[in-house]
Amino acid sequence: MASAVALLRPDVLAPPQPPAVLPVAAPLDALFPYGGMARGSIVAVDSLTVALALLTAPSAAGGWCAAVGLPDLGLAAVADAGIDLARFAVVAAPAEQWAVTVATLLDGVGVVLARPPARVAAADARRLAARTRERRGVLLVYGGWPEQVDLRITLKASEWSGLYGGYGRLLHRRIGLVASGRGAAARERRVTAWLPG
């Protein structure tokens, strides 16, 4: 009888609470089921521009961000995207220590943007997923990933503006994005956004 009463308690019947999230700037926030990057999740992107755009709001909120395995990433582009360089760590080429480097950064950084090497062992991917959940960070993967991710954002369309009659400068980029994943992110979401050139 006591177990039946326990089942009727309001706290037992309460709906699950949404996860804590890191902010994402509009309109990209519409790609996420909870309006931001869920802490403890892995998000895969196929565009570096989109990845940097996802870092702007956590950086503006005072959070630390990091990039691993992106030797060609220019700090001017990072700053132009709106990321505070005073709270942005870069490990350009960690070589065979890639997984260890990412795991270490997840211990103290809110969002880690990581480009995996050509081959990531499935065991390393599972360990990094566990570390991401345990430390309640976000692993933003740019490139291939051997395991399932919580959310995958794919660039479906891209159009530049600013050139007229062959003259001028590229000013803006209109992109079409599609996001899908597992759990609450299983429903496909689409967004069209303008990004600075």
Coil vs helix vs strand at 107: coil
Look up the CATH number of the domain holding residue 32: 3.40.50.300
Whether 6 is in a domain gets the answer no
The closest alpha carbon to 140, from 50, 51, 61, belongs to: 51
* pLDDT at 11 > cutoff 70: no
Residue 35 lies inside a defined structural domain of this protein: yes
Please give the residue that has the higher pLDDT: either 136 or 161.
136
Looking at the predicted structure, is the pLDDT value of residue 10 above 70? Answer: no
Tell me if 139 is assigned to some domain: yes
Q: Write phi, then psi, for 22 (nearest 5 degrees).
A: -95, 145
- Is 106 within a domain? yes
- 48-57, 98-107, 153-162, 165-174 — which is least confidently predicted? 165-174
- Structural domain range at position 123: 18-153
83 with 59: CB under 8 angstroms?
Answer: yes
By the 8 A CB rule, do 29 and 54 touch?
A: no
Bridge pairing between strands 41-45 and 65-68:
unpaired
Q: What is the overall mean pLDDT for the chain?
A: 91
Note whether residue 127 is domain-resident.
yes
Residue 138 β-bridge partners: 41, 111
In a domain, 182, yes or no: no
Across 10-20, average pLDDT? 68
Domain membership flag for residue 168:
no
Instruction: Name the pLDDT band for 161 (thresholds 50, 70, 90).
Output: confident
pLDDT of residue 9: 59
Q: What is the pLDDT of residue 176?
A: 96
Confidence of residue 91 (pLDDT cuts 50, 70, 90): very high
- The residue-averaged pLDDT of 161-176 equals 83
Q: Give domain status of residue 37, yes or no.
A: yes
Look at the chain and report how many structural domains it folds into: 1
